[in-house]
Structure formats: structure tokens, C-alpha cells
Structure 1
Amino acid sequence: MDLIVYHYGVEECKPSHAYGPALRDHFLLHYIISGSLSILLSELTEQSAPGITNGDGHKENYIKKSIQFIETNYSRSMSIESLASYIGLNKNYFSTIFSELLGVPPQEYLIKYRVNKACKLLNNKDLAISDISRSVGYDDPLGFSKIFKQIKGVSPKYYGKTLL
């Protein structure tokens, strides 16, 4: 199993701190350590995500790296600008090559990816729509439901009850 570190930082936690309530297909490691943890995590991050060269002819590499980033971070708040910045490209150029190679703009790809992940979570009848929406990167369950209906043609509640 590979360890891919894609987010780290320092946070002061209060007693009984909890990170949730969302479902994730990845693990959160929460260490309470004093010392040089940030150096360790910085090293892990650099080693787990080899850089992309900025030369011409690497469009496929940029898109592959962006899809990997989406698959890893879809449950977090994400903008196309932050995605382009992660890849090391200008937002407009990134959007152009993404659309050129995949046939859809990056924002549409991200939305559809999140909705498809939500469809899988809807198999679990014990989960509330609000929990599912947070699990796929939407803090607002109503906004999530509207987007879901635009993509699938039915509400998440109806989809979970009748189409599964």
C-alpha cells in the first residue's frame, strides 16, 4: 500500500476534538506531537508526489496529475484555480487543455465525479443526505441536492430509495 500525503498542517485542538462527521475513502492521521513534525510531513509530501516538468508536450501528464488530485481531494473544498495551481499551470491554460483532452471542463468533471461518489454512498440506507453531501465535498445539503438532480435527473433521496 502506498502512502500519499496530500494535506498536512498544524492545528490547535481542544479537548475531545473530533474530525467529522463525514465518510472518507482515505485515512486521516492526527498526531499530537511536539517537535519537528512539519519537517517530517514536508519530506513525505515531497517524496509521495513527484513533480511535473513544465515543458511542452506534457499535457497528458498535467491532466493525469489533476485527475489524481481530484480523486484524492474531492471530499474537500476545491476550486479550479487551486487545482491549476497545484499542477503549476495558469487557470485558463489548465482549463483549456483539460477540456481539449477530456471533452469536459474541469469543473464539470469534478461535479460529476462527486455525484458518482455520492451514488455509491446512497447504497447505504443509514446515511443521511447531509452526511453524504459533506462526504463528497458539499457543505450545503440543499446545494448538493440541486446539483445531484441536475446531473442525475432525480433527487438524491429518490435515487437512493427507488433506483438502487
Structure 2
Amino acid sequence: MSEPVFSIFPNENFVDLSLYQYGMEQCPPAYSFGPATRNHYLFHYVLSGTGRLMANDSRGISHEYQIRSGEGFMIFPRQINTYIADPKLPWEYIWIEFDGMRAREIIETAGLSPDHPVYHAAYKDLRENMKDEMLYIAEHHDAPPFHLMGHLYLFIDYLSRSSSSQMTTSGRVRDFYIKEALNYIEQNFPNDISIENIASFCGLNRTYFGRIFKETVGKSPQQFLLSYRMAKAAELLKLTDLSISDIGNAVGYSNQLHFSRAYKNVYGVSPREWRNKNRVMK
């Protein structure tokens, strides 16, 4: 039996999508992991063999799934789960742990959720492309971070396009509005924008926009905008010599006191304290 491959991604400077851990393992018969929870999204693709997944759905009810070669399963943040290799035909799988502000949106586009955690491919060629990207990441752990992130995006693309999930018309329309909102935030977060501005840009009533945004992204528009701005501020604090005031302006805060207060509410310390602890030395 081959030794498991396990790697930790060395860079945390990515916001929309970030890679955490990845690897590959041929499990011994009846090998089990759990019950456990994860902090991020964790996708397994089964290369050979079979096994079982026991996972809680969105209501906290546990379900059991049989998963075979050519299929996969997604484990969600804070979801209680256990997975067990078959005693006679144990599985070999490859896995990637990732997260980021766009992760939930992407995973839902692929049709995966705590209520539907099993991946079934409708297109064999795209499934094989997805598998190849996962193998590449696992086998090139010493590649530069941006190189690996490029392959993470390719993996995500093939995961979404190979899925057999068929979104409803209303789901496609909702997805369009959310993408428009996220693009607007990404392009305008340094400016003095409001939730009304974002809803108006999408052509939606603010109340309806706030509801579908939270249902899709998992945060209210206000929470997402704040998190996005503070994540961008953290990048600047870590990687640049800009002053605290300039960084506040760069992420939409003309008042340094308001910026420092908002940053402390998210990270627990002031921007200056955070920079002193996390600064990347040049």
C-alpha cells in the first residue's frame, strides 16, 4: 500500500478562493475517519474502490451514502461527518480543502450542498479533467503558490461543468443577480457604496436582494461587504508599507478611526497590532 500524500498550502494571501490542504490516500480495509467537523470545504474524489459517508444535512439529520469509483463527496464547514472505507474493496481517493468568499457560490453552482453532498458527473471528459487537476495539485506541492492557485481554479471550473446538477430557471436568474452583485462589490469596494447602490445596480428591491444574497452567499450584503473590505485591508497591511490611513482609504474608509474600529470588530485587534504580528518581511 502506497504512503498517503499530504500537503499544506503555504500562502494565505488569497481572498476569493484559497487552498488549504490537499493529498491522496489508499485507505486500508474498513479505515474510518470521524465523527469530525472541518473549518473549510473538503472535496474527495474516489479514484478506485468504494466506501460510505455519514453526514448531517442542513437540519442536523444524519444520512448515509455509498460512494464508488468515479464519484466524490463534499464535506461542508461545521458539518458532522464520518467516512469509512469498504472492508473488501477500500477506496483510494484524492482530496482538496479550500475556502474563500466565492466558495459557497461556486459549490452551489455545482449542485452540492449539505443536503446533496455526493458528486455525480454528467460528462466523463470533464470529470477526467477535474481528476487530472486534483492529481496535479497533489503531486506538485512544491510549485509556486500562484501556479497552484491557477490549477485550483481549473479544478473548480471542471467540478462545476461536469456536475449532473440541473439548476432551475429561477435558480439561474438568482445566480445571475448574485454574480452581478459580487462583481459590483469587487469593482467598487474602495468607494462609498451602500447596499441600496448594489441592489439598484442589480435592478432589485433592497429587501428582496438582501434575502436572496444571504440565502446564496451565507452572509448578509452588509456582512459580506465588510468582510471583503477587511480581507483586502489585511492583504495591504501584510504586504505593503502603506500607512493605516491610506489603507483605510483604499478599502472605502475616509475616516481612520472608523476603519480601525471596523477592523478590530472583524479581527479582534487594531490594524497596527495586526500588522505587527503578521507583516511579511521583505
Query: TM bucket by the smaller chain?
Result: 0.5 to 0.7
CA displacement, residues 8-36 of structure 1 (integer Å, 9 cap, x when unaligned): xxxxxxxxxxxxxxxxxxxxxxxxxxxxx
* C-alpha separation in 1, matches of 2:170 and 2:222: 24
* C-alpha separation in 2, matches of 1:85 and 1:75: 18
Alignment match of 1:123 (pick from 207, 230, 238): 238
TM-score, normalised by the number of residues in structure 1: 0.64
Does the aligned pair in 1 maintain the 2:181–2:198 contact within 8 Å? yes
Q: Which has the higher strand share?
A: 2
Q: What is the percentage of aligned positions where both structures have the same residue?
A: 43
Unaligned ranges ≥5, structure 1: 1-54
* C-alpha separation in 1, matches of 2:258 and 2:218: 25
TM-score, normalised by the number of residues in structure 2: 0.38
Q: Does 1:91 align with 2:223?
A: no
Q: Which has the higher helix share?
A: 1
Alignment match of 1:148 (pick from 259, 263, 266): 263
Does the aligned pair in 1 maintain the 2:238–2:278 contact within 8 Å? no
Q: Which has the higher contact order (CA 8 A, sep 6+)?
A: 1
Q: Does 1:60 align with 2:175?
A: yes
Amino acid at match of 1:64: K
* C-alpha separation in 1, matches of 2:254 and 2:170: 38
Q: Does 1:161 align with 2:273?
A: no
1:124 Cα offset (Å):
4.1
Does the aligned pair in 2 maintain the 1:145–1:155 contact within 8 Å? yes
* C-alpha separation in 1, matches of 2:170 and 2:273: 47
Matching of residues 30-49 of structure 1 within 5 Å: none
Amino acid at match of 1:60: D
Amino acid at match of 1:157: R
* C-alpha separation in 1, matches of 2:177 and 2:197: 14
Matching of residues 4-83 of structure 1 within 5 Å: 56-57=170-171, 58-83=173-198
Task: Provide the alpha-carbon RMSD of the alignment.
Answer: 1.3
1:163 Cα offset (Å):
2.3
The DSSP-based 3-state class of the residue aligned with 1:104 is: coil
